Chains A and B, each alone.
Chain A
Amino acid sequence: MLEISELRKRFAGGPEAPEGKVALDGIGFAVRPGEMFGFVGANGAGKTTTMRIVMGVLQADSGSVSWQGKPLSYADRRGFGYMPEERGLYQKMRVAEQIEYFGRLHGLSPAAAGKATADLIERLGLGERKGDAVESLSLGNQQRVQLAVALVHDPEVLVLDEPFSGLDPLAVDTLATALQERCRGGVPVIFSSHQLDLVERLCDSVGIVSAGRMVATGTVEELRATEGGTLRVVVRDPQPGWADGLPGEVTVNGDRHVLRAQDGDGQEILRRAAKAGHVEHFGMERPSLTQIFKEAVA
């Protein structure tokens, strides 16, 4: 299990802001083996800073990161796979050579690095481009190479900063499949994203970060439960004033009246609606992750 606890980080200020900027204000969460953890939050909320600290690229002012119950060491991190926010590849180096090189740096033998590279090129659909320089590749293909670099040494943990940004739906699927495979193999995966529908679809659990603090964590289901649902009733052509005294708000859309209520007796509402007119829709609306997110960071 990867545990991040009570991380704090303040960046030194310049002449305009001598007090500096607090990037992390005691953030903490845990990712279990085989769990895909979606890290969401507004720009500047602290996602990248957290990931950089996990990867040892940045030092926290306080707090700790531990892996398998022990403080994370350099040797542990060598076994991690990392995709930084700003993509880092040697532009003039060829695709296959590049993936293999990073495999070797992570300690693979030439044969193992070659085999892992060939597998990844196959799986990520880079076969036709393996001899090309990275700079000649489309953004989507560069991102595939970037992911291959993070995966080549069969990492024990994956830390990916915005792996899906700027990708077309097909590339998203390829990458998502590759990540899910690793995850099923027992690897904890942390990734940040602004594509909340994607996070909702892929992740076992979600952490919502705001202003350097974790404001909500749990499975999407758990987050929904705490948020509660909204009852939505659509009645066509009802008698005026039908909803007087009922909880919630009514919006009128032509001859359709839509009632949304957070609480109240659903059965009572249904009876009143049926008496007043023709009920077209009656149901609980489950909040999307986007709604939960907006609610949480508000």
Chain B
Amino acid sequence: MNGLLLVARREIATHIRTKAFIISLLITAALVGAAAFAPKVFGGPDSYTLGTVNSQQLPLQAALPDAEIEWRAFPDEAAAKRAVLDGDVDAVLVDGVKVISDGEIDSELGILLQSTNREVKLGAAGVNIPPLQMESVGADTRYQAARTGIAVVLVLVLFMLVIGQTMTVAMGVVEEKGSRIVEILLTSIRPWQLLGGKILGLGALGMINLVAILGVGVAAAMVSGVAMDFPPGMPGIVAGVLIWFVLGYAFFATMAAALGSLVSRQEEVGNVMSPLTMLIMAAYFVAFYATTEPTSTLASVMAMVPPFSSMVMPVRMAAAEVPIWQVGLSMALMVLAVLAVLSVAAKVYERAVLRTGARVRLGDVLRGK
């Protein structure tokens, strides 16, 4: 087997059985699963408990098909008042002419009761009013809440995976350099095989993570019924996330390997990586902003600019409709950026990884000193 694949296989075999990998995968999957149930638990449809004293129940269900409406009958107004004050019912219709509630009535419920009452009375008088037809001439906003929700979960998952795997790459490079394993490795394989194998192996692990998380998320959404609200084109969004993860990870991890090769001690990793960490954070913030403002100028522009696009574009695709040419162009630009980073980073890595001791200056390496 090729050296590159051997290195990749070692990375996967080494990390996949560590407690850290398994625990973080379980926690993330659990969080995403929980997020899929959250709308049911917190949002959910409206539910009202109403009472009647000497009145007919109003046909509210027809006006509010999603709501759960429960009616109770009370013998007299005094019993109804007690129930209202105890919080057992939201409101009670008394004698078909007044509504009592504890404090001011919920405005939606109030309007609903008024209009339904009017309709019933008019209907009884023989006046039939056809309901108004509602029609939107703007964008389809039916899925807006679901889209924003999906985008928020995605941005978090992408950010955590990209920064986690990127740091792992840097620490792995420094482990090999600091312990001089690299000296033995590089007498049997080429630097590009070692670098490529490491990035490939850890990327595959990230992909396993991502697929597991998305799988749990989609499955949980189906179980909870949230999937009913998913916008059309969900498979496309999921596939897009996987591709964007590969591109973003390739970009950041390659840079991380180059930066990591400049230092020889684990304590220096955080320091040498800080510009890159900041870049990933910046991409994360823009992507987070894009979850709520996917059509803003900032989100639209940053969805095209590598490496920000790797996090902003998938979020934008989830949060809003994006023209396909924009997605294509953005991907093409990102691929070019990845290739450029690969060629420079491979050179830096090759030149710096055997120079143990004090931190190697990036400028010196680039100039070939």
Contact = CB atoms under 8 A, between A and B. Distances in A.
B204 interface: no
A82 B183 contact: yes
A105 B189 contact: yes
A95 to B, nearest CB: 14
B218 interface: no
Contacts of B114: none
A57 B179 contact: no
Interface in A60-114: 74, 77-78, 80, 82, 84-93, 101-102, 104-107
Nearest to A110: B1
B188 A102 contact: yes
A105 B185 contact: yes
A74 B192 CA distance: 14
Given A55-B187, A56-B187, A105-B188, A88 B14 contact: no
Nearest to A83: B184
Contact of A57 (B7, B14, B187, B369): B187
Contacts of A77: 187
B241 interface: no
Interface in B173-226: 175-176, 179-190
Contact of B179 (A52, A56, A80, A91): A91
B82 interface: no
Q: Which of A58, A80, A88, A107 has the most CB of B within 10 A?
A: A88
Given A93-B14, A105-B3, A88 B179 contact: yes
17 contacts: A12-B369, A55-B183, A77-B187, A78-B187, A80-B187, A84-B184, A87-B180, A88-B180, A88-B181, A88-B184, A89-B179, A91-B179, A102-B184, A104-B6, A105-B185, A105-B188, A106-B188
Interface string A184-211: 0000000000000000000000000000
Given A88-B176, A102-B184, 13 more contacts: A12-B369, A56-B186, A57-B187, A82-B183, A87-B179, A87-B180, A88-B181, A88-B183, A88-B184, A89-B179, A105-B6, A105-B185, A149-B184
Contacts of A91: 179
Interface of B: 1, 3, 6-7, 10, 14, 175-176, 179-190, 354, 369
A106 B184 CA distance: 10
Given A101-B6, A105-B189, A86 B184 contact: no
Q: Which 6 A/B pairs are nearest by Cβ-Cβ distance?
A: A88-B181, A88-B180, A105-B188, A84-B183, A86-B180, A106-B188
Say what secondary structure dominates the interface of chain B: helix
B354 A57 contact: yes
A180 B227 CA distance: 70
A205 to B, nearest CB: 24
Contacts of B186: 56-57
Interface string A253-277: 0000000000000000000000000
B181 A89 contact: yes
A200 B189 CA distance: 35
Contacts of B175: 90
Contacts of B6: 101, 104-105
Given A78-B188, A88-B184, A101 B10 contact: yes
A52 B183 contact: yes
Nearest to B189: A105
A228 B186 CA distance: 45
Contacts of B187: 55-57, 77-78, 80, 82
Given A88-B184, A89-B181, A58 B14 contact: no
B301 to A, nearest CB: 44
Nearest to B6: A104
B184 A82 contact: yes
Interface in A110-136: none
A150 B181 CA distance: 12
B1 A104 contact: yes
A84 B3 CA distance: 21
A207 B360 CA distance: 33
A205 B354 CA distance: 31
Contacts of B189: 105
Contacts of A85: 180
B14 A84 contact: no
Contacts of B10: 93, 101
Given A87-B180, A88-B179, A105-B3, A58 B354 contact: yes
A286 to B, nearest CB: 39
Nearest to B1: A104
Contact of A84 (B1, B180, B190): B180
A159 to B, nearest CB: 9
Contacts of B14: 90, 92-93
Nearest to B13: A97
A153 B188 CA distance: 10
B1 A90 contact: no
Nearest to A109: B1
A12 B180 CA distance: 21
A88 B182 contact: yes
